[in-house]
Amino acid sequence: MKRLVLLLCLIAAPVFAVQPDEVLDDPVLETRAREISAGLRCLVCRNESIDESNAELARDLRLLVRDRLVAGDSDSQVVSYIVDRYGEYVLLKPQMGGSNIALWLAGPAMLLLGAGIAMLYIRRRSRTEPAGDGTLTETEEARLRQIMDE
Amino acid sequence: MITELGHFALILAFCVACVQAVLPLIGAHKRWPGWMAVAAPAATAQFLLTAGSFAALTWAFVTSDFSLRLVTLNSHSAKPMLYKITGVWGNHEGSMLLWILIVTLFGACVAWFGTNLPPSLKARVLAVQAMIGVAFFAFLIFTSNPFLRLATAPFDGQDLNPLLQDPGLAFHPPFLYLGYVGLSMTFSFAIAALIEGRVDAAWGRWMRPYTLAAWIFLTIGIALGSWWAYYELGWGGFWFWDPVENASFMPWLIAVALLHSAIVVEKRESLKSWTILLAIIAFGFSMVGAFITRSGVLTSVHAFANDPERGVFLLGITALFMMGGLTMFAARASVMQSKGVFAVKSRESMLVLNNLLLGVACFIVFVGTIWPLVSELFFDRKLSVGAPFFNLAFTPFMVLLGLVLPIGAMLPWKRGSFGRVLRALAPAFVLAVAVALLAWAMQSGRSALGPVGLFLGAWLVAGSVTDLWTRTGRNGGVGGRLRRLARLPRADWGKSVAHGGLGITMAGVAGMMAWSVEDIRVAQVGDSFDVAGYTLTLDDVRQAQGPNYMSTTGDFTLARGASRIALLHPEKRFYPVAQMPTTEAGIDNGFLRDVYVVIGDPQDGGGWAVRTYYKPLANWIWGGAILMALGGALSLSDRRYRVAAGARKVAPVQGVPAE
């Protein structure tokens, strides 16, 4: 029974995220590899980076990233190497260029717009103040005089 | 038999909802008291029928009635009882039934507790709530009926997804739905107010408890989901900016904004039309959330194609309610005249800033979530938007929010002075800076994230304490002020506790992201290794048999120096029926840190892959969320919602004399 359990576990065992045998000896290179792979998407998973993913393909990509780093590529060279082969779909942080400008500018543009509307609103509410509880209108003053006289 | 009764009750509830959606609305328009009075008993009946239907489905799961298609697909006779019950909502059809149960529950709450609502408003609120009910009943009965039978019942079921067989995830959906659906109540209040054509302080007071309740449940639901991801997924991540997560986060952000703008309506009769708009949008986001989660359109285009009927139906419901709501808003918003007048330096202005920051933050999450879809449809670019984008685009708004929060929370209504508030907050600020400097000096790297997070945490907590303390007045000595502190309204306590909780969550998120330590290695049985000042020893690896799974368990001893701290038992489980493996991390929880061990595969050369994490401030994330929810609950229990809740100054005359 024990052996059967072990066997079943082995068959179905997921390949865990970063494996001990993948880790590079050079800690500086390894840190760079981790940073790069946190920004690359695993192509067969739901929104996971290759650094987190258990999939076979993610492991291949992690090894590829490390191979390129050992070969002496810079970080951006590694990323563009992967993007050239798998398309910009692998980038978890979309590029700035082209239609993506809309994505990156959406937040700041909305902030400016919202801030403008909010400022106008607040100024309007603060401007109406004197009329509200400051001076009295003519009819009100007349009525006040009338009351005081009585 | 019980199943058929449940099925029948569901259809009856649908019919009741149809009646409740129409008659009270006509009654309120024509001022016929009898027709308006239909709403409350109908809401109760609708809830009881739906509850009966839900109980019947639960019964089928508990007794493992495999003649039901849904039970066969999602249950197994060997499954523990807890997961037989939670399995009811561990699937699309059952969770939709739970969703509707909550829709009717909130309606029934208005019927039971809304005794002081003007009859016409109450009738309209319940009618709108019933319309939402009708849409979802139709969705459930016509596209995803949970009560379908199988011609030939199999001997056993196909088991629930093993990932869902976990206490954290088992109770995550009910809380989340209570939150999502709670926002349907604020939507109903908003639409009813638009029909009535009046929004005043009393309206704000009636609708705010529902907003608060929805937000509390949403907070707990999101925290449970994040906590589950942390301990179950095997590497200690707590937030992934996944579309499904964002789907729950967007309504949360809008609910926070709504919560604050409703205060302005309640106390100052300003921001009325904005609050109505937020209430409509908040429900819109929870509908979009349901659509994203259930259609699978954003995680995979194929899931949508697999079940186009459901996706299209949900999209239709969303579009119907949003277009209806926004059209009504456009037509009637001009009726809402703001009364309150306030200066630029005032609590009102700061709450406008709060709404601006939260609104834009939510907008960014929304754009980031749908951008892959938009980009593929309109620009023919297949791309991903993931955590790096959200961290960069979203975080600044939260930092800004945290910075201004204590100031805004203390600024008086109508007209205030920054100078006075800043003087009161000076000690809190000095303390926060000191904490940040200390963190900066103690950390090994040069990351700004950790110190900034701790600064915000200390600033928010100390700011909240300052806020409470200044409310006790100036004289009376420390003893007198402490006594007054205990007697402060619960709403004041709730506000400070919730704001402090936000600070603690912020500190936790920053600390965990900045200072986590990871160790990946192959360990033989008997090996010891050091991680972040702790020593772990792998004592043994054994095989064990669970009720419906097999497990490989590692026995670790966690020690610091010579003193043994804990025994950790990370597991790798395999569920044979579903053919799925899961990981169970071994975690030693601490106030300042977690030590987190995961056991992986056996290695070719002997030994096991072992991953160890040192996670500083991990529990602060969820602890802060619990405090936020607790603050909401304190605020909800405030006296003013219980005693004479929102008696209007001039009671509107409703109804006409009997003819």
Tell me, what's the ipTM?
Answer: 0.82
In order of B156, B231, B307, B477, the CA distances from B484 in angstroms are 63, 42, 60, 11
Question: Of B491, B500, B489, which Cα lies nearest the Cα of B634?
Answer: B491
* Contact (Cβ atoms closer than 8 angstroms) between residue B574 and residue B592: no
Band (pLDDT 50/70/90 cuts) for residue B193 is: very high
Q: For the whole model, what pTM was predicted?
A: 0.89
- Average pLDDT on B264-273 reads 87
Residue B556 to residues A80, B542, B614, Cα–Cα distance (Å): 42, 12, 15
The per-residue pLDDT for range A115-140, each reduced to its tens digit, is 999 999 888 887 765 444 456 667 77
Mean pLDDT of chain B: 88
Angle, vertex CA A92, rays to CA A88 and CA A95, nearest 5: 55
> Cβ–Cβ of B368/A103 closer than 8 Å?
yes
Asked if residue B498 has pLDDT above 90, the reply is yes
Q: Looking at the partner chain, which of A14, A18, A49 has a beta carbon nearest the beta carbon of B520?
A: A18
Report whether pLDDT(B254) > 70. Answer: yes
How far apart CA B73 and CA B58 sit, in angstroms, is 15
pLDDT > 90 in chain B, percent: 49
Nearest to B210 by CA among B645, B500, B625: B645
CB B17 within 8 A of CB B130: yes
Which CA distances in Å does B196 have to B133, B189, B241?
21, 10, 40
pLDDT digits (tens, 9 = 90+) for B65-95: 899 988 888 888 888 888 889 889 888 888 8
* Best-predicted range by mean pLDDT (B214-218, B511-515, B647-651): B214-218
Averaged over B235-264, what is the pLDDT? 89
Helix or strand run (H / E) with residue B554: strand B550-560
More confident: B235 or B290: B290
Nearest to B356 among A39, A118, A133 (CB): A118
Give me the mean pLDDT over the B290-294 stretch.
80
On chain B, the residues whose CB falls within 8 A of the CB of A100 are 371, 375, 381, 383
Residue with tokens 């949970």: B146
Q: Give the neighbor-by-neighbor strand order of the sheet with B593-602.
A: B517-523, B608-616, B593-602, B586-589
User: With an 8 Å Cβ cutoff, is A143 touching chain B?
Assistant: no
| pLDDT of res. B577 | 80
Which of B270, B543, B572 comes nearest A2 by C-beta? B543
Which chain B residue has its CA at the smallest distance from A92's CA?
B386
**Chosen from A96, A111, A124, A127 to mutate, greatest number of chain B CBs within 10 A:** A111
pLDDT of residue B659: 39
Find where tokens 């629930």 sit.
Answer: B160
Any CB–CB contact under 8 A between A103 and chain B?
yes
Q: What are phi and psi of A25, to 5 degrees?
A: -70, -35
By residue count, chain A amounts to 150
Instruction: Tell me the count of A-B CB pairs closer than 8 A.
Output: 157
Per-residue pLDDT averaged across B534-561, rounded? Answer: 90
Average pLDDT, chain A: 78
> Where is pLDDT greater, at A89 or B9?
B9
pLDDT (mean) for B379-396? 89
* Cβ <8 Å between A8 and B576: yes
Percent of chain A with pLDDT over 70: 81
Is the predicted pLDDT of residue B11 greater than 60, yes or no? yes
Q: Tell me, what amino acid is at B107?
A: G
Query: B385 vs A92: CB contact, 8 Å cut-off?
Result: yes
Q: What is the percentage of chain B residues whose pLDDT exceeds 70? A: 95
Of B117-121, B159-163, B263-267, where does mean pLDDT reach its minimum?
B159-163
Indicate yes or no: CB of B379 within 8 angstroms of CB of A98. Answer: yes
For residues A41 and B101, which has the higher predicted lDDT (pLDDT)?
A: B101
Q: What residues of chain A lie within 8 A of the CB of B399, using their CB?
A: none
Residue A11's pLDDT band, with cuts at 50, 70 and 90, is: very low
Mutate to test the interface with B, among A1, A3, A9 (most CBs of B within 10 A): A9
CB-based contact B545:A5 (threshold 8 Å):
yes
How high is the pLDDT of residue B303?
A: 41
| Closest CA of chain A from B551, distance in Å | 8
From A144's Cα to the closest Cα of chain B, the distance in A is 24
Q: Rounded distance, CA B425 to CA A80, Å? A: 49
Q: Do B581 and A12 touch (CB under 8 A)?
A: yes
Q: What angle do CA B592, B593, B596 make, to 5 degrees?
A: 165
